[in-house]
């Protein structure tokens, strides 16, 4: 459930400027990897801004210029030891990402640098994505953790990238750069690092002159069409449970936390 009081964490920056809400992920020392409190803050703002008549658009960005979001902070997986931990985590991510996807006003992702894992999921559900050439988009879990996405997030990747590219991103752990993302239609435009904030501010501000009900209707109807073709959230629980409770996943998390070596075992 979303928080009932305004977040106080320094890991998220929030401001409103001329009708545009700006939500910044603020852990540049960790490439803005998401903690639970950051997910809670995002959920809180999705809930409270939805009915705020003074907000016409929402911009998500990463503080520091080197990353949008580099996934979920891996240290938070250290206690995972049973199937329910994995299912609960993926449901939680599905809930937060789903709230951003259904947020009734235009959402824009301003992407510099790493946009991977959970960051890729957040960017995918924004209505518009603008990036610099430094963007690196992907889900390299086949190289890093050995876990899996929820079936809903796999669906989002397929909708955006198609089957062939989605297999490259998930199975080959391939990262898509800014120029390729533009060619694929993954981002709407590329801007220079020095000008992207100015450009995105102008694009977000322009929604003030658009018909609010048309914007809401367009977004809602598009989402209905997309969701009609998706499987239920539990359709992938078998593989979520297998991957997150595997020896490989546990060893990969320990490698990150304790800096210990390991090799994939397939178990």
Domain boundaries, the chain: 12-194+207-258
pLDDT tens digits, one per residue of 80-92: 989 999 999 999 9
pLDDT of residue 2 exceeding 80, the answer is: no
What is residue 104's predicted lDDT score, i.e. its pLDDT? 98
Nearest to 129 by CA among 156, 110, 103, 102: 110
What is residue 1's predicted lDDT score, i.e. its pLDDT? 42
pLDDT of residue 4 exceeding 80, the answer is: no
Reported pTM: 0.94
Q: What CATH number has the domain spanning 12-194+207-258?
A: 3.90.226.10
Average confidence score pLDDT of the chain:
95
SS3 25: strand
pLDDT tens digits, one per residue of 44-77: 999 999 999 999 999 999 999 999 999 999 998 9
What is residue 81's predicted lDDT score, i.e. its pLDDT? 85
Nearest to 40 by CA among 71, 16, 4: 4
Mean pLDDT computed over 1-17: 81
Rounded to an integer, what distance in angstroms lies between the CA atom of residue 54 and that of residue 34? 28
What is residue 159's predicted lDDT score, i.e. its pLDDT? 96
Rounded to an integer, what distance in angstroms lies between the CA atom of residue 209 and that of residue 212? 9
Asked whether the beta carbons of 47 and 18 are under 8 A apart, the reply is: no
What is residue 214's predicted lDDT score, i.e. its pLDDT? 98
pLDDT tens digits, one per residue of 211-259: 999 999 999 999 999 999 999 999 999 999 999 999 999 999 999 889 8
Rounded to an integer, what distance in angstroms lies between the CA atom of residue 165 and that of residue 243? 22
């Amino acid at each position: 459930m979303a928080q009932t009081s305004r977040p106080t964490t320094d890991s998220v920056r929030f401001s409103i400027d001329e009708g545009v809400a700006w939500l910044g992920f603020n852990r540049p020392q960790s490439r803005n990897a998401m903690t639970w409190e950051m997910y809670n803050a995002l959920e809180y703002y999705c809930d409270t801004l939805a009915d705020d008549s003074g907000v016409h658009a929402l911009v998500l960005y990463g503080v520091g210029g080197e990353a949008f979001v580099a996934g979920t902070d891996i240290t938070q997986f250290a206690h995972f030891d049973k199937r329910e931990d994995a299912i609960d985590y993926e449901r939680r991510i599905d809930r937060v990402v789903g709230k951003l996807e259904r947020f009734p006003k235009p959402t824009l992702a301003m992407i510099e640098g790493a946009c991977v894992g959970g960051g890729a999921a957040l960017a995918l559900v924004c209505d518009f994505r603008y990036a610099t050439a430094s963007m690196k988009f992907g889900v390299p879990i086949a190289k890093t953790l050995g876990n899996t996405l929820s079936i809903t997030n796999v669906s989002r990747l397929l909708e955006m990238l198609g089957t062939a590219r989605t297999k490259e991103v998930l199975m080959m752990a391939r990262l898509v750069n800014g120029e390729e993302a533009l060619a694929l239609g993954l981002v709407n435009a590329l801007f220079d690092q020095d000008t992207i904030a100015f450009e995105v501010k102008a694009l977000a501000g322009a929604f003030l002159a658009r018909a609010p009900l048309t914007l809401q209707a367009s977004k809602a109807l598009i989402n209905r069409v997309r969701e009609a073709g998706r499987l239920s959230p539990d359709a992938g629980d078998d593989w979520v449970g297998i991957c997150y409770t595997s020896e490989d996943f546990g060893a990969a998390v320990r490698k990150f936390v304790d800096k210990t070596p390991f090799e994939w075992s397939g178990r």
